[in-house]
Structure 1
Amino acid sequence: MKNKLINSEIKQMCGVDYAFKRIGGKYKGRILWHLHSKTVLRYGELSRTLPDITTKMLTQTLRELEEDKLIIREVYHVVPPKVEYSLSETGLELIPFIQYLHNWGNIQLEKEALPC
């Protein structure tokens, strides 16, 4: 009986685990949100949009989002090199959930009388 309970708990957590491994962390959701807001951003624009992220962390996070097929990285072979990031269709599917978190966060800020 105990074994069935453990398997049931694991199956219930699989979707949540999968989702948070893809968008969890301090920056992924924010990057997705900013790409939704601006449609296309270059690396430097993303860096300025998230001033608290290091170059290494931004690069790593963008690679992970690309590997998870949440963003599209388009390289233009020009001098100087130009790279643009945008949301993939899968990334766009997450926006309603991030919008919900955005609205919830704004309500909490209002309740606590904190500046936005």
Structure 2
Amino acid sequence: NYEKQNEKKNPENHIVGFFMNLFANYVRDTLNNLVLFGKATYDKLLKEVPNYKLITPTIVSERLKVRGCLARVAIQELLSKGMIKLVSKHRAQVIYTRGTEEGEGAEKEEKEGKEEIR
């Protein structure tokens, strides 16, 4: 009997019980993301995604309602077409940005100018 009274008074047990009750009714929303591209979704990918300032698989997955693996494949396709540019590649996250033609033209002019000086 004495041990049960001490268990109730132990603050660690109180904290654990508090967090168990806090998350007891927490239910995560289930996602119903697409596994394959439909015609409308693919057109939306080609039209909208290259205009995003920041492009990651997570952002593409959330905005187009597709699975993460499909988002990664779609980004690789856009990269191969030259519609987006790689900013940073890490084992956990890959970051791309829009491929602006105006910015690329300015960079080419700068490179040509440097070659003429040499």
Larger C-alpha radius of gyration, 1 or 2?
A: 2
Q: Which has the higher contact order (CA 8 A, sep 6+)?
A: 1
TM range (shorter): 0.3 to 0.5
Instruction: Give the TM-score normalised by the residue count of structure 1.
Output: 0.41
